[in-house]
Structure 1
Amino acid sequence: MSYRHTTATWIISGFVLVLAGYLFYDYFESSGEGQSGYRRGPPPVVVTAATAEQQFWRSQLTSVGTVQAIQGIDVTTEVAGKVAKIDFNAGAYVETGDLLVKLDTSTEYAELRSLEAQLEKARSDEHRARQLVDRGFISEAALQQTTTDTKNFKAQVEEQRTRIHKKTIRAPFAGKLGIRQISPGELISPGTSIVTLQSISPVFVNFALPEHTFAKVYPEQTIEIQVAAYPAQIFTGKISAINPKISEKTRNFTVQALLANDEALLQPGMFADVTIDLGKQRPVIVIPVSSVTFNAFGESVFFVRQSAQQSGLSGTGTPTAPEAGRDQSRDSHAPEHPPALIAERGFIKTGERRGLMVEVLKGVQAGDRIVTAGQIKIDEGASIIISDDDVLQTAKPRPKEP
């Protein structure tokens, strides 16, 4: 009996010791006596950060536009017919009047010969009628009828010659041909596209600007454009026309610029980034574009702030009551830890964007530290750690290759 009592006593004693150790560890960690020196909670999130800085930007107007040929059409036919000859090569340059396509005209020429014969007979009848009228054998009305017949056949002959002429298709202006859309022997109808013809030296670039910028643009003003096909190259031109009407739907007006395009690099339909330099500099506060979060409430960023809720500190940074009574000599030898950082959300208003940077009109001051990557993992007041690796240092505003 005594043996069983002794065993039970040892088991209960061991359980009590384990429970006491757990309670002591929990108290030790929560009171800030552990090696970490911080209260327990969610682990800090690793983010990258950048400092808002003041720069001087030249005032610019930016827009997106489309390259348009100064003259461009899809060559078609006005009359139906079978393709007898194709006299051009795809992608070739042609001059005004160069032969492109000939349609079969054998039937039309046969009809023309018939009409010419009828015209000749009508002329002969008219000549004989005039002689008979002079002799008084026929009336003036009969002569007038033969004259009308002559004019009618003459008009039919001219119409037939015009129809034959239209079956010879020539280039209406000089330019570059595209890919042909027909084949020899094919029967084509009016409006059928034969080939595209584009005059691309020079070219137009059409773009839109908001109405409040109307007074800032004028004819012969210099513009710069960039296209995705040649990201490292800047093309320059001058404004050639400004639409005097502002759209009631968009409150934008259309601007057309003329670019030389001597090397024929710009092609109709290309998407173009347009910049107009207004020649003035202004101070701006800029931050990386990646730091801005867009949502239904507006634009916001996470500021990097120093936390006041550290171990042994009150909200004002003064020692708490239990800590003030501790042995000062022991605290003087305690290791010094870096200040804890938290993320604090702030709403801002952004302006112009250039490359990887965006102008901040309201909400950020020069010198503020802003989270640039990792925002999706943090909330208001989240504990954070700043990483030394900044992905923006190797990023490029416009990739050179896809």
Structure 2
Amino acid sequence: MSDRNTALVACSVLAMSATLAGCGGGAGPDEGFRGAPIPSVEAVEARSGSLPLEERLSGVVRAENQVTIYPEVSAPIEQVLVRSGQAVQRGQVLVRLDDEQLRGQLRQAEANVELAEAAALEADARVQESEAMVSRTRLLAAQQLISDIELETQEARYQAAKASAAQARARVSQAVATADERRSRLEDAVVRAPISGRIGQINAEIGMLVDQSTQLFVMGNLDRLVVEVPLTEAMLAYVGEGMPVRIRSSALGDEPLRAEVTRISPFLSQDSFSTVGEIDVRNDDRRLQPGMFVTVDVLYGASETATLVPTSALWEDPSTGLLGVYTVDGYGQGVALPTSGEAAQLSSDSWPVTFHPVEVRARGRESVGIDGVDEGTWVVTFGQNLFAAGQQEQQARVRPTVWESVIELQSLQRENLLHGFLEKQQLMARRHGAEPPSRDTYLTPGLTPGETPATPEGATGRDRESGVPLAANVAP
């Protein structure tokens, strides 16, 4: 953790120190283990404004025109001519298969064409011969030298010869088609790139026997990518094409990639009642790769103006189930706010603190819009778990803070937030001869050493697994 984060963490969890026996209001460090506890909390001034309405989705990246390449014929691989990541042009040879068997099949087919053509010539000759016989028979019949039956017989033989010739010509066409198909299969022994792009996911080795079900490569245009996101039936009521999006990924660093919803399929799946939205993005710097999972925030509008507080200010009272915020009554006049990297002074006097139920009107990632508290009111952001549940008016010492510090702390993991400060409190307790607070004792106000923290059925103020109070000291 950085020095700045360490300072912020120590500042924010000072409110937790009241859980140690004897850390009281106005007492110094040495007296803290003997006095009566007065909670110490952090507070920030509520603002007025609107929140962007956004839908967070999980997306999958694929290359533009991404295709999977399979061989068209079954044969062993003879040559692999590309490597993973290589840029290729449309029509470029990727793999050559062993084509000896295919060449033999082509030679056989070409020989069959020659036999069929010879048979067709022979059939045509028989047609000419039969035609001549019919002409002579008609002359003899006209002179009544032969009977009509003999003429009819010769004419029937002529028609049969013509039919045989037609069949022979059809066999020629059939043999030619077979030869063309064999020639095409021979050409298929050379696997070529169907598009221009980059090669990936190579599954081709020399000597490997492949068939039409063997995936050889995946390729696509990596300069332009498509992010696919699932959209439910309900989302289609407010998410549409052209809406701005922010794409986040560890590969992109802190700055999100900005784009817009490009296409939405009009057909919903009958199983999931969802469809797919597509987002076209430029990828000139190649930070994104096909197959990556990304977070996509679709910005579909803005909320109405409301009082804004950090998400950590929201607190659900475990005794009543009411959602609200703790406000510091009368606080704020002449308060000196901390500068960057510094901690503000904790108030020497205690201030009245009141729990106000609120209604959440809009939720952002780091702040929420609420009704029930006015702009300019100071609200507690850390230390709500130190107050007695169900008691509306209480007292606390207050450390003012700024929004930026609260937002930064909300992104820290709960364990990182408490671990270092707990170690310091344990060390201080040992120095004064007191029993060091255990993890459960530290995180559970009023718990004596060795006592197991209780988790009432249905309680919402404490994490069931870790025992950490579910104050909003970590962003939801």
- TM-score scaled to structure 2, two decimals? 0.58
Gaps in structure 1 of 5+ consecutive residues = 1-34, 308-336
Equivalent position amino acid for 1:300 in 2? L
Kindly indicate whether residue 282 of structure 2 is the aligned counterpart of residue 273 of structure 1: no
SS of the aligned residue for 2:254 comes to: strand
What is the correspondence of 1:2-401 to structure 2 with a 5 Å cutoff? 43-55=37-49, 57=51, 59-66=52-59, 67-136=61-130, 139-140=160-161, 141-207=163-229, 222-244=244-266, 255-270=277-292, 271-276=294-299, 283-293=305-315, 300-304=323-327, 338-339=349-350, 341-342=352-353, 344=355, 346-354=357-365, 356-360=366-370, 362-380=371-389, 381=391, 384-387=396-399, 393=405, 395=408
TM-fit CA distance, 1:267: 2.6
Deviations 1:125-144 (A, max 9, x none): 21122112211297424334
Q: Is the 8 A contact 1:343 1:384 kept in 2?
A: no
Q: 1:293 to 1:248 in 2, by over 3 A?
A: farther
Secondary structure of the residue aligned to 1:132 is helix
Secondary structure in 1 aligned to 2:253? strand
Is the 1:98–1:170 Cα contact (8 Å) retained in structure 2?
A: yes
CA contact (8 A) 2:46 2:375 kept: yes
Partner Cα separation in structure 1 for residue 363 and residue 94 of structure 2: 50
In structure 2, do the counterparts of structure 1 residues 298 and 170 end up closer, same or farther at CA, with 3 Å as the change threshold? farther
Residue 274 (structure 1) shift: 3.0
Query: Which secondary structure does the structure 1 equivalent of 2:171 belong to?
Result: helix
Distance 1:304 1:151 in 2: 92
Cα contact 1:301–1:371 (8 A) shared by 2: no
Identity %: 21
Q: Is the 8 A contact 2:248 2:257 kept in 1?
A: yes
Give the counterpart letter for 1:69 in structure 2.
A
Tell me whether 167-176 or 239-248 shows the greater mean CA deviation.
Answer: 239-248
How far is 1:252 from its partner?
Answer: 7.2
Partner residue of 1:20?
Answer: none
Q: What is the CA–CA distance in structure 2 between the aligned matches of 1:81 and 1:295, rounded to whole Å?
A: 71
Given that 1:202 and 1:260 are in contact with CA atoms closer than 8 Å, whether structure 2 keeps it comes out as yes
Q: Is the 8 A contact 1:231 1:398 kept in 2?
A: no
Greater Cα shift, 340-349 or 70-79: 340-349
Q: Give the secondary-structure state (helix, strand or coil) at the position aligned to 1:157.
A: helix
- Seen in structure 2, the aligned counterparts of structure 1 residues 351 and 93 have a Cα distance that, compared at 3 Å, is same
- 8 A Cα contact 1:56 1:283, kept in partner: yes
TM-aligned CA distance change 1:254 to 1:184, over 3 Å: closer
Deviations 1:53-72 (A, max 9, x none): 22355x55444352332211
Residues 342 and 383, structure 1, Cα contact 8 Å, conserved in 2: yes
Structure 2 CA distance for aligned equivalents of residues 211 and 365 of structure 1? 37
Tell me which amino acid in the other structure corresponds to 1:157: A
Cα distance in 2 for residues equivalent to 1:398 and 1:350: 22
Q: Is the strand fraction higher in 1 or 2?
A: 1
Measured after TM superposition, the shift of residue 84 of structure 1 is 0.8
